Each structure stands twice: as structure tokens, then as C-alpha cells.
Amino acid sequence: MKNWSERLEPTDFTATYKVNNVIYELQSPHQHIMLFENATMGRVLAIDGVVQTTENDEFTYHEMLVHVPILAHGAAKKILVIGGGDGGCIKELFKHFSIESVTLVDIDESVITISQKYLEKICGNAFSDPRLNIVISDGAIFVKECVEKFDLIIVDSPDPIGAGEILFSKEFYSNCKRVMSDSSVLITQNGVPFTQGKELQRSISIWRTLFSDSRCYLTNVPSYIGGPLAIGWATNDINLRSTPLEVIEERFKKALIKCDYYTPETHIAAFALPKYIRKLL
């Protein structure tokens, strides 16, 4: 047994895991991938030295990443997921029978292959759903060249380092807007504001030049240390974020989905930001 520590910014504050077993390790053409077992978190997927997801807490992230925009929108049928090669996001999406198609764009096929083989607890059978279209490509290039429109775009990306850096640029966000309608929603992983506040500030400042409603909401992911995680929200439909609780409750009831974190009440509360985060924005 050995210890492994994240190489997460800021480097003076990090998490250390006891590694019971290294299941897989690979330097792909795009990034370093490591999958190991930890007694508390189960199987842990780390990319370029940073934890991306774990078997035991992924639901706190993926459920909020997906069900908040789906149930706020109420009629999202065509979805684009950029990143998300672990399959947790698409697993939650496919719980909604109303969704007609999901396009998953990931730059690294290795992540998908590893997840299908070793992370079934996270992805389930989502990769075999007939509504899924997998594209192995750079997400930034995909949205630049795409001619389709999507009701919802979820950017399930790493932090803005290495291969994920371009997914936080103004050019990328502008191209996302190009493949959205006025009622579409853009959802992003935007780091832990307490330790990565500049990341959230930068995204919000760009969205304010592009969208009518720019905000974030929060979820608590134990493996993402430093406080609650910010999930970015951008849309031109200013009414979606204030969808009434009773409407969300009715949509949730009709969807017949089972969750371990998400509830309609949690949905509403997630947009109530602590003062230190409001100051960042």
C-alpha cells in the first residue's frame, strides 16, 4: 500500500489517498490516466494527477450536473456532452426517457475504454444505449465545426489545465452558443470556488458578454476538496433558473428517476450562493 496525492492547484492544499491497488495506468497521447482503489472512495479515476471521479461519490456530481438543467428546461431532447468519458453523465441523462439523442465528444478514447471495462458502477450500461453517438474529437473543434443545434450542452471537463484548458476560453463558449437556441442551456464544471475562484470568475465574465443569464449552482462532492463545487449555468432564457418548485416536483415525479443526492428541493437550494461566492461573481 502506498500514498498518492493530487497535483491540484493550489499545490499547498491537497488530498492524499491510500492506494490499495493500482488497476490501470497509462500515458495516452493526450494525458496521464490512472485508476486505483481506495478503501473509502472505491475506484478512483485520476487524470494528469487530479481526481476526476470516484465510484462512491460520483452521484453527488453527476446527478446535479444532469438533473438540474434537464428538469429546469422541461423539454430537452437533444444533448451534447463534451468530456464525460467516464460515462457517469450519460448514465444520468439516459434515466430520462424523454431524451432522444446524446452526442458524447471526448478527446481521449482511452478514458471511455477504461471506464467501460473497470467503472461499470459509474457508467452502468450507458455506453450501449442506442440514443448515444460517440465522437472521439477535441470538443473545441467539434463545436466550432458542428452544424447541429442542441437543447443542452454539458461540459464535463477537467480543470483548465492541459487538454481541458481550451474548454474555458471565450472562443469555445462562443462556439457553444452558436449551436444553442435561445432556450438551450450550457452547463459546465467550474471548480471549487474557495480555492479556484479565478476559474469561476473568468467563465462568468465571458458568459455575461454572450448570454442573458449567467450563474452557477453548487453541489458537494467529497473528493473535490475545499468546499462546494460550482457548476456553471448559462442561457438566454432568463426564466429557466426560476422554474417553480412545484413544476420541478411534477417533472421529477413524471420522470420516474431514482437519485441519491438530487431532489427538487436541493435543485432550488443549489442556486442560493454563499456570500463569498457572490462576491466572486
Q: What are the catalytic residues?
A: 156
Residues in the chain: 281
* Contact predicate 171/96, CB 8 Å: no
Strand pairing partners for 156? Answer: 83
49 Cβ partners below 8 Å, 6+ apart?
6, 7, 8, 32
Q: What is the CB neighbour count within 10 angstroms for residue 40?
A: 12
State how far the Cα of 116 lies from the Cα of 135, in Å rounded to an integer: 16
Spatial CB neighbours of 125, under 8 Å, sequence gap ≥ 6:
none
Q: How many CB atoms lie within 10 A of CB 175?
A: 19
Tell me the C-alpha to C-alpha distance, in Å, between residue 227 and each of 42, 192, 230: 21, 6, 10
Pairing, β 42-47 against β 50-54:
antiparallel
Distance CA 61, CA 34 (A): 20
Interatomic CA distance for residues 226 and 220, integer angstroms: 10
49 backbone φψ class: left, alpha, beta (φ>0; ψ -120 to 50): left
Cα 168 to the chain's mean position, in Å? 13
Question: What residue type is 154 in one-letter code?
Answer: I
